[in-house]
Amino acid sequence: MSSNQIISPVHVEKLVFSGKGLARAEDGRAIMISGGVIPGQTVSVRVLKTRKGHIEAQVLEVLEHSPLEQPLPAHFQVYGGCKWLPIRYEDQLRIKDEQVKECFSGLASRGLVSPEVWHPIVASPEIYGYRNKLEFSFGKYISAKEEIHDDFRFGFHKQGEFDRIIDCDFCVLASDSVNEIFLEVNKHARASGIPTYDPKTAKGTWRHLVVRESKSTGKKMLVYSLNTKDPNFDRAIFDTVWQALALRDDIVTQVLFHNSGLADIVTGEAEILHGSGIIQENLLGRTFEIRPKSFFQTNTVGAEVLYSTVLNLVKSSGGTLLDLYAGTGTIGILLASHFDQVYSVEIVADSSADASVNAWLNKVSNFEAVQVPVEKFLKDFIDRGNQADTLIIDPPRDGMHPSAPPNILAFWAREIIYVSCNPSTLVRDLDVFLADGKYRLTDVVPVDMFPHTHHIETVARLELVTK
């Protein structure tokens, strides 16, 4: 089977954790389908790569719809970030719950996961308009095959294509006010005459717009990413754009990133256009500052559910808490009143600095932000003879550095709470903790933070058995 070959018809059996669809070729090989398919659909696909054990393919056309699909309101649009939108939400939860359990099946077959550890999946309190951060892209859509030549697009990238943008009319993951702001920026940007950026030529100006929204106050931050070195950039005209937006009461600050880099990311030298460059969010009675590049869970009310799940699983009190891969210190600050000392460990300098500010803002004095790789901190902490009683681990998608779990085991901590956005790497790391019988798994709680996407958070608790 060769690249670009068309296979049709193909029946989608199920979705795997990555969000890809699983189907079977006539020879029995698995077909992993990207592009947003739904179990029960019959589709045609184009072969991307042929591997030894499976075929990677891209969906081309839906030939028959799935019983799981629901009719959508006319103004709903399905973009790359909300591919599960046509699936009923109760079915989304069921699929995610099954995916987490499937990831744990290897541990379960070895007797390391007992049935009583499973908790029902926790739904997001909101399934529309829940995102507090939206990143929109400017660009073009030029295709001779489709007979399209559009030099100004504003919305989201077409699935799998870095240089083509799909215009956005309404984003279901954004609040109504953020959608209003998007349309207003769209109107002003198009009228400005300033060209959009072309990643093929590295010419043009408009690149990204990020809207950050405090769900507790309704206040918003706008972040513009512009190639201001482009000769067609007109600063005076751009100033009229952001000044028009500043007239809105809910937009309290705006920031410009002078972005001439080649990567499709928001970066560059930051310039505060008006306001402080900061908004504040309230979470479970605590206040957190959010800057243009701060990490903060994108579903605020979902984050309250996630962190409440963590707080409810913590059984220890007193002693030392290590909050590892701590980001801006959210979990450590929320738990600080239960412990004598909290160390918030994070490698990203800006996030660690934000953690210190947030601790000060919330009058948390038993808190120390440490900006260092987790694996280095753990070794140094142990070498100095220190002890930790409870560990919170919330690593990135790739999981923990291989040297970290052995050092964690050396602590003999009473309990470990592991928060993961990737159940496959979670299971890989848990396997190390459970291997010698020192710890047992007491709880596994899937938490849906991202409705209409394939992403799922999972919280697991480990308890010390022997010492």
Alpha helices in 82-231 (DSSP H): 89-103, 105-109, 176-192
Taking the mean position of all CA atoms in its chain, how far away is CA 99? 18
pTM score above 0.85: yes
Dump pLDDT digits (tens) for 258-300: 999 999 999 999 999 999 999 999 999 999 999 999 989 999 9
CATH, domain range 6-64:
2.40.50.140
Tokens of 187: 């109107």
Burial of 269 by CB count in 10 Å (0-12 exposed, 13-18 middle, 19+ buried)? exposed
25 in Cβ contact with 31 (< 8 Å): yes
**Segment among 66-75, 230-239, 280-289, 367-376 with least mean pLDDT:** 66-75
CA distance linking residue 320 with residue 340, whole number of Å: 6
Q: How confident is residue 436, by pLDDT bands cut at 50, 70 and 90?
A: confident
What is the spatial order of strands in the sheet that 220-226 belongs to?
A: 165-167, 148-157, 133-143, 206-213, 220-226, 251-258, 269-274
Where does the chain hold its CATH 3.40.50.150 domain(s)?
98-125+299-464
Nearest to 320 by CA among 256, 285, 280, 366: 366
Residue 421 among the catalytic residues: yes
Contacts 24+ apart (CB under 8 A), 65-68: 65/40, 65/41, 66/12, 66/38, 66/39, 66/40, 66/41, 67/40, 68/38, 68/39, 68/40
What are the residues whose beta carbons fall under 8 Å from the beta carbon of 27, sequence distance 6 or more? none
CATH 3.90.550.10 fits 133-283, yes or no: no
- Summary mean pLDDT of the chain: 94
Where does the chain hold its CATH 2.40.50.1070 domain(s)?
133-283
260 in Cβ contact with 266 (< 8 Å): no
CA distance linking residue 78 with residue 66, whole number of Å: 16
Dump pLDDT digits (tens) for 304-361: 999 999 999 999 888 999 999 999 999 999 999 999 999 999 999 999 999 999 999 9
Nearest to 292 by CA among 282, 275, 277: 277
Q: How far apart are the first and last CA of the chain?
A: 56
pLDDT score of 114 = 92
Catalytic site residue from 82, 168, 171, 421: 421
Dump pLDDT digits (tens) for 19-47: 789 999 988 899 999 888 899 999 999 99
**Beta strand residue intervals within 193-238, DSSP E:** 206-213, 220-226
CA distance linking residue 345 with residue 197, whole number of Å: 38
Query: Helices H, strands E: what count in the chain?
Result: 10, 22
Q: Above 80 in pLDDT, residue 89?
A: yes
Fold assignment, 98-125+299-464: Rossmann fold (3.40.50)
Residue with tokens 């697009």: 153
Top pLDDT among 251 and 35 is at 251
Tokens of 175: 């609040």
CA distance linking residue 81 with residue 89, whole number of Å: 16
pLDDT score of 106 = 93
Dump pLDDT digits (tens) for 360-384: 999 999 999 999 999 999 999 999 9
